Amino acid sequence: MLARLTFATATLLGSTTTALAADDHASFFEKPETWVLIAFIIFVVAVYRPMSKAITTKLDGRTDAIKSELDEAQRLREEAQHTLAEYQRKQRDALAEAEGIVAEAREEARRIEENVQARTTDTLKRREQQALDMIAAAEARAVADVRALAADIAIDATQRILTETVEGQKGDELVDEAIREVPGKLN
């Protein structure tokens, strides 16, 4: 701006000196170009300070506004980075928690499977033992039945043999007594 003002002043001074050369007999203050030049210089000096202050103030205000916007943008950027970091941390925590839950579920499934296997094994052993006990009981009943049958057959045979060999009252008493003693001795 100052360069333009200097150029304009030099142009006016140049035209004034040309006019002076052509018009030598008039005094410097009587010429209209001189007064135009002086008025222009006064106008430029009078307008320069308020205009420069206004322009400077306007530029300073714009600079402050831009600086404020940049600060706000920086603050928003930092806040966004903080929020992003927080969500990334939450995501990592959630993934770790999910992995923990999966691992815990697998461990629980393994424990349940072991428990079921143990129960199944115990149940099979118990049923096998019950079957063995039932077989042993059946064998014991069969042996007892065979012994009882054998005893009955032996009693009948003894009774027949004694009845055939011993006759009379004495034979009947011996047979009856032997019959009473046989079941006690066989069982």
The pLDDT of residue 182: 73
The pLDDT of residue 67: 95
The pLDDT of residue 62: 93
Q: Residue 122: which residues within 8 A CB-CB, separation 6 or more?
A: none
The pLDDT of residue 29: 79
Polymer length of the chain: 187
The pLDDT of residue 20: 47
Instruction: Give the whole-angstrom CA distance, residue 5 versus residue 88.
Output: 61
The pLDDT of residue 150: 84
Handedness of CA 107, 110, 116, 122 (dihedral sign): negative
The pLDDT of residue 181: 79
Handedness of CA 47, 48, 53, 57 (dihedral sign): positive
The parts of the chain modelled with pLDDT lower than 50 are 2, 5, 19-20
The pLDDT of residue 171: 65
The pLDDT of residue 159: 74
Domain ranges of the chain: 2-95, 139-186
Side chain identity, residue 143: V
Q: What is the pTM of this model?
A: 0.38
pLDDT digits (tens, 9 = 90+) for 57-73: 999 999 999 999 999 99
